[in-house]
Structure 1
Amino acid sequence: MDVLAQRPLSRRLFVTGLGASVAAASVPSLIRVDGALAAPPGTGGALPDGVFSLGVASGDPLPGGVVLWTRLAPDPLNGGGMPDRPFPVEWEIADDDTFARVVRRGRTVALPQHGHSVHAEVDGLRPGAGYAYRFRAGGQVSPVGRTRTAPAGSVAAVRFAFASCQNWQDGYFTAYHHLAGENVDFVAFLGDYIYESVPRTTTVRTHEGTGEPATLAEYRNRHAQYRSDPNLQAAHAAFPWVVTWDDHEVDNNWADEIPQDPDLQTPEAFRARRQAAFQAYYEHLPLRRGSRPRGLDLQLYRRLRFGDLVDLHVVDTRQYRSDQPSTLEQAETAPLTMTGDEQERWLTDGLTDGGTRWNLLANQVMWAQNDRTAGEVDTFDFDNWDGYRVQRRRLLELFGSDAVTNPVVLTGDRHCTWVADLHPDFDDPASPVVGAEITGTSISSGGNSDPVAFQNTYRPIAAESPHWKYFDNQRGYVVCDVTPERLLSSLRLVDTVWQPDGATVRTAAEFVVEAGRPGVTVEYEEPRSVEQRAQARRDAGPRYDVDDVDETADLQR
């Protein structure tokens, strides 16, 4: 396929970081009262009960502040259920859960054109400090959330978790019950926050609605259904989140303005769908106002710094990409882009600025070459970086230069854990190791898996893929401990997603990347007998169809 021409980016909000200018941006329809943002005259009135049904969240921590989120939605699966007018919302943030020592408070307005969502940007906080926060509206008080600012200066350690792929129909979010109890500074979510698939009654849970969402009202209802999950709410309320998207927030395998099925969706229809999906995404996640959608665009790639230890480069591999190639020759030779030119320049500048010990990429789809067939015939999924090999090699050569310090790619999408060394040329045994990739498994997508059959499929391929260090297809999340000397990643797996409660969690493997030594090693791997006992427990319960499995993705030879 031809390279998709990039749209001019002059209308995009180009942000190289999350600076004070964004934090100080004003909200339309607000006035200032005693230095705080307040509702203009004529807003408010009586509110229905249960306006905080979707919980609270915080996100994008800076050394001096965070963004606080909620959405007023007393009837969340029916458009939200709010009267069609603005409502004032108060927020406060305190040193303690009793709110005896409130350190910041303010007011904002929940506007109907934004789904009555609230994105309150708080500044003036201490670096590396924990806080409690809550909202008030119409005499009602939200649940209490907890957040933490980013550290500044010399930092000895950062601990965070990353997760992705939470298909409502494939399973309960049992992993989030355990994640909410972890001691981490933040959570990075790497895409597929919702799934746009049609409702099915043979899965463990059923999507709301009657088909795939296409309008703003339909995407709002789908997001609200996901947000109603108590385990997801608990994980959001426990830590700040840093979010990015993949494909299912809009349409499976979409690329810029091209849907998965252009024969069934006209360009005009898909642009309208994309705008609706972007708007609903912003309304339901703790993003700063700089990410508010503008027409067809939503500024999502950004960089967060955690002192002198970590730069977290949050990338967007959907909004600016070329269409997927159709042949391996095109993948290897065509100048296709996964990021668009401007985002690549932004990423290159950030990777080479030398400001931190570690460069971590919050990324959607796999970088490491991933053959799906044993033997002489290779099979690849070209929706991943395997389809964009010219740009991948260019960036991996940059990884291998002296200009980039300790690059590690953190990836979602696969519904599997896949740990690999990164090479500029995966087919050349002499190609140097230039970095590491840790692809995390899904929260629920793919349902309860069959790890034995999975291992039997991929072990023969692994013999031909020496850059693979570990692979598994069970459900859970990854916890990362970063110090100046090393990055330790712990794979935390739950034993079932087909029961709403009672799931246990275990550390199934640990992976280490040492500073100054590109590549990754497996520090610990559980005996397969443990894995097989977990499989037996899953098999003992009822079985359900699976709504989405990455292993059935379209493949190209």
Structure 2
Amino acid sequence: MSHRTHVPSHDRRTLLRGSLAASAALALPVGAAAAPAQALGGRPRAGWGVQTGDVTASSGLVWVRSDRPARMTVETSATESFRRSRSWPGPLLGPGTDFTGTTALRGLPAGEQVHYRVVLSDPDDPRRTGEPVYGTFRTASARRRDGARFLWSGDIAGQGWGINPDLGGYRVYEEMRRLDPDFFLCSGDNIYADGVINPSVTLPDGRVWRNITTPEKSRVAQTLAEFRGNFRYNLLDTHLRRFNAQVPSVVQWDDHEVRNNWYPGQILDDVRYTEKNVDVLAARSTRAFSEYFPIPTLSPRGRGNGRIHRVVRQGPLLDVFVLDMRTFRNANSPGRQPADATGILGAEQLAWLKRELARSRAVWKVIASDMPLGIVVPDGATDFEAVAQGDPGAPLGRELQIAELLRFIKHARITGTLWLTADVHYTSAQHYHPSRAAFKDFAPFWEFVSGPLAAGGFPATGLDATFGPDQVFVKAPARANVSPMESPQYFGEVEIDGGSGELTVRLRAEGDTVLFSKTLQPGRVGQ
């Protein structure tokens, strides 16, 4: 395919220089609150690396965290020498955002490699600056012939499997970085706020898994400080920081950012929690989420519209529709109700999704779903967590809302929809077709599942025939909560050819292994 030139390894000197500086800075006490500059002495330090988010053809967001109050400035250049650079003033970083900050870059050149560095300065003396932290990213191309390529996965630090120093940490991020994608779509469960990380876990074969631990990961997260510490935990990993400095992310969330299988209005029956109101916990997690990821619609300073769902436009070939199946859902239930106006998306988000899909002129419309459609995901003995509820008949419960959406896509003649998700901790490919379905008023489509990235693996669960899924591929462990030491981690790759417009999905396993590949044709119904 015709694709923009990747960054050669010798052009990453600047990036790696910044990564080494970040590693050295993590000698500070993990999780300690930033102190006033006078108490710390020295200059501001950005020991948690940098990251970019929601990069388009002309814009992007740059994130950093300081160890003390500081003024953030971003400098960008077409070359790593920074001989000709542009300066972007950023916010004052302070305790109100846990010393994190995001700077918006606008008017960037399309389809180009952008080098950047973040400089932190003393707010009382701008001449006192810390060591710059470097990164790079590619903007989306405005030319179809350049094509597009990205990765997706989810589920990080789950089921007690954290950063294992014996294995070198989250090695899968280094493997993904070497593929040098245009961006990474994280499908949720970026943290496990309800998942305790113990110093060690004995595996069934007698081997011992060791974890790096922090105070905030030694208990379930309830306070704002504990949620913030959960997001910081993953940034202790060198591979993840290096990945963040090179690959922009498009981030959504799911249940474990707060607690397993949560829904609005839930009152917890869990002895681990003194705060039983899940809405209180969700508000604290949302604040920390907005502080630790650069998302334009979810701003910690009130500049966004306060929501996670959004469209990230990637040029003429691709629009990414990021869903939020957590904030607006109704309570988990047996899912047999014959009418359900709320569903899993809420009425307002469903209307937004229909409107934006109809407006899209992109060849491919990726629907980034934090939960699968036809895979049955139980919540206890009688309730269900996702859309499917095990009844293969006509749509009921949350299925009604998905049926309405699929019917709309068909009758509005919207082509090129593709569903990507994670959540279930295995990888699979499902083709949905009305000839196999109880509900038939929709056009055929594909759904691909990947993950986990750094969590326990689980056996595959059943399918619900309401929308006629055929599982053409699945790779899953035989028992529950298999450690990353025993089973490879999974991520997916999507590549769109700039000449033909063909889209190829590859389901990958850690170790440079392609498990399954499927190529789809643009604009074709019934493939």
TM-score, with normalisation over the residues of structure 2?
A: 0.76
Query: Is 2:143 the partner of 1:158?
Result: no
Q: Tell me the residue number matched to 1:471.
A: 474
Q: Distance in 2 between matches of 1:362 and 1:406?
A: 13
Q: How does 1:273-312 map to 2 (within 5 A)?
A: 273-288=281-296, 290-292=298-300, 298-312=306-320
Instruction: Tell me, yes or no, if the aligned pair for 1:176 and 1:231 is still in contact at 8 Å.
Output: yes
What amino acid sits opposite 1:133 in the alignment? Y
Q: How does 1:309-320 map to 2 (within 5 A)?
A: 309-320=317-328
Q: Distance in 1 between matches of 2:188 and 2:120?
A: 31
Instruction: Tell me, yes or no, if the aligned pair for 1:57 and 1:70 is still in contact at 8 Å.
Output: yes
Instruction: Tell me, yes or no, if the aligned pair for 2:268 and 2:278 is still in contact at 8 Å.
Output: no
Q: Tell me the residue number matched to 2:113.
A: 130
Q: Distance in 1 between matches of 2:175 and 2:94?
A: 34
Query: For each residue in 1:435-477, what CA deviation from the matched residue of structure 2 results, as whole angstroms up to 9, or x when unmatched?
Result: 1111112102215x7xxxx58x87x999x97611111124121
Change in CA separation of 1:481 and 1:259 when aligned onto 2, cut-off 3 Å:
farther
| Alignment counterpart, residue 510 of structure 1, candidates 508, 514, 517 | 517
Query: Is 2:358 the partner of 1:352?
Result: yes
Instruction: Tell me, yes or no, if the aligned pair for 1:87 and 1:110 is still in contact at 8 Å.
Output: yes
| Alignment counterpart, residue 417 of structure 2, candidates 407, 414, 426 | 407
Q: Distance in 2 between matches of 1:220 and 1:119?
A: 16
Q: Distance in 2 between matches of 1:70 and 1:425?
A: 50
| Alignment counterpart, residue 496 of structure 2, candidates 482, 485, 493 | 482
| Alignment counterpart, residue 200 of structure 1, candidates 198, 202, 225 | 198
Q: Tell me the residue number matched to 2:255.
A: 247
Shift of 1:67: 0.5
| Alignment counterpart, residue 256 of structure 1, candidates 254, 264, 270 | 264
What amino acid sits opposite 1:383 in the alignment? E
Q: Distance in 2 between matches of 1:113 and 1:104?
A: 25
Q: Distance in 2 between matches of 1:364 and 1:307?
A: 23
Unaligned runs of 5+ in 1: 1-42, 74-81, 373-378, 495-503, 521-557
Q: Distance in 1 between matches of 2:508 and 2:198?
A: 29
Q: Distance in 2 between matches of 1:398 and 1:106?
A: 44
Change in CA separation of 1:241 and 1:461 when aligned onto 2, cut-off 3 Å:
closer
Shift of 1:265: 6.3
Q: Tell me the residue number matched to 2:507.
A: 491
Instruction: Tell me, yes or no, if the aligned pair for 1:393 and 1:424 is still in contact at 8 Å.
Output: no
Q: Tell me the residue number matched to 2:387.
A: 385
Query: Is 2:239 the partner of 1:231?
Result: yes
Q: How does 1:182-201 map to 2 (within 5 A)?
A: 182-196=179-193, 197-201=195-199
Query: Is 2:80 the partner of 1:97?
Result: yes
Shift of 1:424: 6.1
Shift of 1:381: 7.1
Q: Tell me the residue number matched to 2:94.
A: 111
Q: Distance in 2 between matches of 1:519 and 1:184?
A: 29
Q: Tell me the residue number matched to 1:394.
A: 404
Q: Distance in 2 between matches of 1:244 and 1:151?
A: 23
Instruction: Tell me, yes or no, if the aligned pair for 1:365 and 1:412 is still in contact at 8 Å.
Output: yes
Instruction: Tell me, yes or no, if the aligned pair for 2:317 and 2:501 is still in contact at 8 Å.
Output: no
What amino acid sits opposite 1:200 in the alignment? N
**Please, which moves more after superposition, 116-125 or 507-516?**
507-516
Shift of 1:188: 0.8
Change in CA separation of 1:322 and 1:283 when aligned onto 2, cut-off 3 Å:
same
Q: How does 1:157-176 map to 2 (within 5 A)?
A: 157-167=147-157, 169-170=160-161, 172-176=169-173
Q: How does 1:210-221 map to 2 (within 5 A)?
A: 210-221=218-229
Q: Distance in 2 between matches of 1:371 and 1:276?
A: 26
Q: Distance in 2 between matches of 1:160 and 1:312?
A: 11
What amino acid sits opposite 2:85 in the alignment? V
| Alignment counterpart, residue 345 of structure 2, candidates 328, 339, 348 | 339
SS in structure 2 at match of 1:319: coil
Q: Tell me the residue number matched to 1:438.
A: 448
SS in structure 1 at match of 2:245: helix
Q: Tell me the residue number matched to 2:64.
A: 70
Instruction: Tell me, yes or no, if the aligned pair for 1:134 and 1:141 is still in contact at 8 Å.
Output: no
Q: Distance in 1 between matches of 2:505 and 2:84?
A: 36
What amino acid sits opposite 2:111 in the alignment? G
| Alignment counterpart, residue 364 of structure 1, candidates 358, 363, 370 | 370
Q: Distance in 2 between matches of 1:394 and 1:135?
A: 46
What amino acid sits opposite 1:421 in the alignment? H
Q: Tell me the residue number matched to 2:431.
A: 421
SS in structure 2 at match of 1:516: coil
Q: Distance in 1 between matches of 2:300 and 2:502?
A: 36
Aligned residue pair count = 441
What amino acid sits opposite 2:288 in the alignment? A
Query: Is 2:185 the partner of 1:177?
Result: no
Q: Tell me the residue number matched to 1:60.
A: 54
Shift of 1:321: 0.8
What amino acid sits opposite 1:59 in the alignment? G
Change in CA separation of 1:135 and 1:350 when aligned onto 2, cut-off 3 Å:
same
Q: Distance in 1 between matches of 2:235 and 2:363?
A: 36
Unaligned runs of 5+ in 2: 1-35, 122-128, 163-168, 202-208, 390-397, 477-487
Q: Distance in 2 between matches of 1:365 and 1:400?
A: 22
What amino acid sits opposite 1:70 in the alignment? V
Q: Distance in 1 between matches of 2:437 and 2:274?
A: 39
**Please, which moves more after superposition, 199-208 or 114-123?**
199-208
What amino acid sits opposite 2:361 in the alignment? G
Q: Tell me the residue number matched to 2:125.
A: none
Q: Tell me the residue number matched to 1:38.
A: none
Query: For each residue in 1:45-80, what CA deviation from the matched residue of structure 2 results, as whole angstroms up to 9, or x when unmatched?
Result: 66556721211000111222211001113xxxxxxx
Query: For each residue in 1:517-556, what CA deviation from the matched residue of structure 2 results, as whole angstroms up to 9, or x when unmatched?
Result: 3466xxxxxxxxxxxxxxxxxxxxxxxxxxxxxxxxxxxx
Instruction: Tell me, yes or no, if the aligned pair for 2:335 and 2:383 is still in contact at 8 Å.
Output: no
Q: Distance in 1 between matches of 2:269 and 2:177?
A: 38
Change in CA separation of 1:96 and 1:156 when aligned onto 2, cut-off 3 Å:
closer
Query: For each residue in 1:261-299, what CA deviation from the matched residue of structure 2 results, as whole angstroms up to 9, or x when unmatched?
Result: 48986987433322211111111112227533769x931
Q: Distance in 2 between matches of 1:428 and 1:268?
A: 40
Change in CA separation of 1:199 and 1:170 when aligned onto 2, cut-off 3 Å:
closer
Shift of 1:143: 3.0
Q: Tell me the residue number matched to 1:8.
A: none
Q: Distance in 1 between matches of 2:319 and 2:176?
A: 23
